[in-house]
């Protein structure tokens, strides 16, 4: 006998959330392993462009964060070759140097205490959209975790090595989770490594779909209340844990060395 067919949608969402809480395990990987896996996942997504881009995550010690060693591509990152640096990019743990462009990460972490992981890549479709100086449009269900959560910068301030670029990018991001940097690339700032990984994947996928759709006609918006509903559902921690878990398993089947 059916027992749920008379329930309202909110009741069904609440039931599903409770089931996820009970049945979806938290990730088993360490912080550094999650960072390394994110590097490999984004490389497989086509977001690795030479040495461009950075992935960072707050360290266990206040005022520090983990990042990749400069000179290594996303496909070479392992949990054991990451660096822990302070806000001035001085190396606290590991050998080598960080990417000097990490300076703007320090500015974002200083302004946004809730941000735990920042991903910046020069993903091709996001970069192409930035070349057109067009904001990202979220108009498809799978990418709604970014709905009303993407800022836009319409001009390029130059190579982001200076404090002025750190202030500029931090101000442009504001309180949102993502920003499209014209003539540059994408940036996401999430509450966990898992969330930031999924946001970066959704950003590039949304840019690709926007370019495809715009080639055929006008992109039509989705109802705001539906977009917000999907956004909040997709960003539930257990939802992101389940999604990242799948991506991690797929990644390790291809890159067994990622954990170091």
In what order do the strands lie in the sheet containing 150-153? Answer: 91-93, 82-86, 64-68, 54-58, 117-121, 185-190, 178-181, 150-153
Domains by residue range for the chain, with CATH: 29-254 (3.40.225.10)
Transcribe 55-103 into DSSP letters.
EEEE-SSTTEEEEEBTT--GGG--TTSEEEEETT--EEESSS-B-GGGH
pTM for the structure as a whole = 0.95
CB-based contact 242:20 (threshold 8 Å): yes
Find the radius of gyration of the CA atoms of the chain. Answer: 19
| pLDDT higher than threshold 80 for residue 158 | no
Q: What is the mean pLDDT of residues 2-18?
A: 88
Cα→Cα distances 140→133, 172, 241, Å: 21, 24, 22
Residue 77: which residues within 8 A CB-CB, separation 6 or more? 35, 36, 39, 40, 55, 68, 258
Q: Which band of pLDDT confidence, cut at 50, 70 and 90, is reported for residue 1?
A: low
Sign of the CA dihedral with 28 first, then 34, 40, and 46 last:
positive
Cα→Cα distances 168→65, 131, 149, Å: 21, 19, 18
100-153 pLDDT, tens digit per residue, is 999 999 999 999 999 999 999 999 999 999 999 999 999 999 999 999 999 999
31-72 pLDDT, tens digit per residue, is 999 999 999 999 999 999 888 999 999 999 999 999 999 999
- Backbone dihedral angles phi then psi of residue 110, each to the nearest 5 degrees: -65, -30
Q: Which band of pLDDT confidence, cut at 50, 70 and 90, is reported for residue 28?
A: confident
């Amino acid at each position: 006998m059916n027992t749920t067919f008379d329930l309202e949608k909110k009741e069904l969402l609440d039931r599903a959330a409770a089931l996820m809480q009970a049945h979806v395990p938290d990730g088993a990987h360490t912080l550094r392993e999650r960072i390394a896996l994110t590097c490999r996942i984004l490389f497989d997504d086509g977001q690795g462009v030479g040495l461009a881009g950075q992935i960072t995550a707050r360290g266990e010690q206040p005022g520090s964060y983990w990042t990749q060693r400069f000179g290594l591509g996303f496909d070479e990152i392992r949990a054991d070759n990451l660096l822990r640096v302070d806000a001035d990019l001085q190396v606290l743990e590991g050998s080598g140097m960080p990417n000097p462009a990490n300076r703007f990460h320090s500015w974002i972490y200083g302004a946004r205490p809730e941000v735990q992981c920042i991903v910046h890549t020069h993903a091709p479709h996001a970069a192409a959209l930035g070349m057109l100086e067009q904001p990202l449009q979220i108009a498809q269900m799978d990418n709604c975790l970014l709905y009303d959560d993407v800022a836009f910068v319409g001009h390029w301030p130059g190579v982001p090595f200076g404090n002025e670029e750190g202030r500029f990018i931090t101000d442009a991001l504001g309180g949102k989770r993502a920003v499209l940097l014209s003539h540059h690339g994408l940036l996401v700032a999430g509450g966990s490594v898992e969330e930031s990984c999924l946001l970066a994947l959704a950003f590039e996928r949304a840019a690709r779909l926007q370019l495809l759709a715009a080639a055929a006609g006008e992109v039509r918006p989705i109802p705001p209340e539906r977009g917000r509903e999907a956004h909040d559902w997709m960003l539930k921690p257990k939802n992101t844990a389940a999604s990242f878990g799948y991506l991690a398993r797929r990644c390790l089947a291809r890159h067994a060395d990622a954990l170091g």
